[in-house]
Amino acid sequence: MPLPPPPQRSFASDNASGAHPDVIAAIIAANEGHAIAYGDDDWTLECQARFAELFGSGVETLLTFTGTGANVLALTTLLRPVDAVVCAAGSHVNVDEAGALERIAGAKLLDLPTPDGKLVPEQLAELASLLDNEHHVQPAVVTITQSTELGTVYSPAEVAALSEQAHSMGMKVHVDGARVANATAALGSSIAALRSMTIDAGVDVITFGGTKNGLLGGEAVVFLDPDLATRARFVRKTITQLPSKMRFVAAQFNALLDGELWLRNARHSNEMAARLYDAVAGLDPIEVAKPQVNGLFPTLPPVAIGPLQAWSFFWEWDTAKHQVRWMTSWDTMADDVERFAAGVAAAVAA
């Protein structure tokens, strides 16, 4: 059975999308005259004020280009020699950043297994035996991903419990929030929801994602505890993440934070994933869990995977299990979902 016309937009990743029109408009508006480079400009000041307002606190915000750069900036700022970062085994920082932290910070990642991408306090507690022993690296920061690489979401209580355990061991807490907007949308879609799982839950620093949520490119590292940021701007430069014409990164974020565009984009993306779930969940023999955010991780008949990828590309997630990943984006249209689901239906029926 031939496949129907493919969707116009890809389900490969939320970074296959382009920039939201408001973001483009903000760049054009910022492209007026001269501005001193490296952040000494009005757009960057506005951006810092917007993040302080978002978190309701005197946070310290630094803009960067990439998520890997943002994570390395946040973590390197917190680490001394021999300090280690605790993370989930499947986390982006452990698997998908090509060893950036090891190279740049010279630090070890202590990666722990998880069934669902989420660390639990007991896993931190088990690392206490490493502390104060000179033969071992010293757990100093725990980094969690919200929402996780597996599409799961930490509840505010779960983050708070992890923070409490971490802080009791002298550790700091970092959130890789490449998709924190999607997690916020899932947890109530409000600024209060964002705060409840970050600043109110004891998180010390967060990578606040922009690129996957409608920017051309840009991430923000927000030190919720600004006392930890003393050296951050030096670190940003040394890790190559200091934007020269900073105004253009700031302007993008200003557009994203204006009128809660970041939440609107994320809600839409989550809704498209839910819609895709509704369309494919009943297709035998697909097995797929109901999405919490903007990704589905279905298992497919092996013979269907290749033809579907050739038709509209997506990534395999766990080859051994024939599990793939379908991501929706801020600009995914209902028509894209319908076409994609139709193609899947045709392929698995074949």
> Binding to its own copies (CB under 8 A): which residues in 270-299?
none
Closer residue to its own copies, CB minimum distance, 40 or 278:
40
C-beta of 202 vs 218, nearer to its own copies: 218
Q: In whole angstroms, what is the distance from residue 284 CA to residue 281 CA?
A: 8
Please name every residue paired with 61 in a beta bridge, in sequence order, or none if there are none. 222
**Sheet with 172-177, edge to edge strand ranges:** 60-64, 219-223, 205-209, 172-177, 138-145, 83-88, 108-112
Shortest reach from residue 218's CB to its own copies, in Å? 10
* 16 contacts its own copies (rule: CB under 8 A): yes
Euclidean distance between CA atoms 56 and 315, whole angstroms: 38
Question: Is 329 a residue that touches its own copies (CB under 8 A)?
Answer: yes
Among 239, 293, 300, 347, binds its own copies (CB under 8 A): 239
User: What six digits make up the tokens of 53?
Assistant: 């307002």
Specify the DSSP class assigned to residue 237. Answer: H
Place of tokens 């722990």: 112
- Those residues whose C-beta lies under 8 Å from the C-beta of residue 181, and which sit 6 or more positions away, are 209, 213, 262, 263, 265, 266
Is residue 245 part of the contact set for its own copies (CB under 8 A)? yes
> What's the min distance (Å) between Cβ of 149 and its own copies?
12
Q: CB within 8 A of 342, min separation 6: which ones?
A: 4
Q: How far apart are CA 213 and CA 149, in angstroms?
A: 15
In the list 42, 53, 96, 335, the residue contacting its own copies (rule: CB under 8 A) is 96
Q: Which of 68, 123, 165, 196 binds its own copies (CB under 8 A)?
A: 68
Question: At its nearest, how many Å lie between its own copies and the CB of residue 3?
Answer: 18
Minimum distance from residue 196 beta carbon to its own copies (Å): 28
65 makes contact with its own copies (CB under 8 A): yes
Q: Which residue in the set 46, 102, 200, 260 belongs to the binding site for its own copies (CB under 8 A)?
A: 102
Beta strands in the chain (DSSP E): 60-64, 83-88, 108-112, 138-145, 172-177, 205-209, 219-223, 295-296, 315-318, 323-327
Q: Assess 15 for contact with its own copies (CB under 8 A).
A: yes
CA gap 168, 166 in Å, rounded: 5
Residue 98 binds to its own copies (criterion: CB under 8 A): yes
Angle between helical axes of 21-30 and 247-257 (0-180°, round to 10):
140
What part of residues 198-237 is at the interface with its own copies (CB under 8 A)?
211-212, 216-217, 231, 233-237
Query: Under rule CB under 8 A, which residues in 139-178 are in contact with its own copies?
Result: none
> How far are the Cα atoms of 30, 54, 56, 70, 103 from residue 42, in angstroms, in the given order?
10, 18, 21, 22, 34
Binding of residue 81 to its own copies (CB under 8 A): yes
CB of 79 to its own copies, least distance (A): 8
Question: Which CB atom, from 245 or from 322, has the smaller least distance to its own copies?
Answer: 245
Binding of its own copies at residue 319 (CB under 8 A)?
A: yes
Per CB under 8 A, the segment of 45-53, 159-167, 240-248, 291-299 that binds its own copies is 240-248
Q: How far apart are CA 225 and CA 53, in angstroms?
A: 14
Nearer to its own copies, 181 or 201 (CB): 181
* Residue 10 C-beta: closest distance to its own copies, Å: 4
Does position 76 bind its own copies by CB under 8 A?
yes
